Amino acid sequence: MDTTTNSLTGLSKAWVSMRMTNSYYVANKIISVILSTALACITLSYKPMIQEYANAVAADPTSNENEEAYKFIYWFLFIFYSFQAIDELIELYAVYFKREKGALGLLFEMNYFLGLAVSIYIAIFVFGNSAPAIAEYAALYNWLVFQMIILFVGVALSIFIYACMKSMQDKLTRKAVHVEKSD
């Protein structure tokens, strides 16, 4: 630990220490790659069920269910998670080998816009529709509900982290002002 962290205590000291050590960041990126890849694979595993569901809805002339929405959502959800895994892999490479992320990495950063759009569409779909009438296809809807839970947990964690960072910044600013006044 160098002299810049000697005046810090508690969470602030731990945060600065972790930011100065690449091993924590590399571990974070490895976990992110694994998580994104797993979510992409799980989403892809629903493809046969979506096709069966579309055939079942098409075979029932009285059905008013929207199987095309499921195809659309699952396709873009898979693309989002796949690109997210690639983006995390590029960041892992950049950190591990101390290289620049490059233009390709910046291209994959645009994936966040796709994630935002898919999240909004899933929210509209989940709040506007109920589970499929055919019970064996309820897992399709449940996976989208799980995506909504991930969204809400992510928003809550973002607010919590923002509050922690703001608190640390305010303490640091007050400490710096207090030191200036005492000089």
Q: Is 1 within the bounds of a domain?
A: no
Q: Is 102 within the bounds of a domain?
A: yes
Percent of the chain with pLDDT over 70: 91
What is the 8-class DSSP label of residue 64? -
Q: Report CA-CA distances (Å) from 102 to 87, 90, 96, 105.
A: 11, 9, 14, 5
CA pair distance 77, 41, nearest whole angstrom: 11
Q: Tokens in use for 93? A: 């490479």
The structural domain count of the chain equals 1
CA pair distance 23, 29, nearest whole angstrom: 10
Amino acid at 4: T
> What H or E segment, with its residue span, contains residue 166?
helix 138-182
3-class DSSP assignment, residue 60 = coil
Q: Is 3 within the bounds of a domain?
A: no
Q: Tokens in use for 47? A: 């493809």
CA pair distance 28, 96, nearest whole angstrom: 12
pLDDT tens digits, 24-75: 888 888 999 999 999 999 999 999 999 999 898 888 877 777 888 899 999 9
Quote the pLDDT of residue 26. 86
pTM for this predicted structure: 0.79
Q: Is 123 within the bounds of a domain?
A: yes
Q: Tokens in use for 98? A: 């101390």
Domain range holding 37? 9-182
Quote the pLDDT of residue 106. 81
As a residue count, the chain comes to 183
Quote the pLDDT of residue 6. 63
CA pair distance 109, 120, nearest whole angstrom: 18
Q: Is 2 within the bounds of a domain?
A: no
Q: Is 90 within the bounds of a domain?
A: yes
Q: Is 128 within the bounds of a domain?
A: yes
Does the pLDDT of residue 180 top 70, yes or no?
no
Q: Is 44 within the bounds of a domain?
A: yes
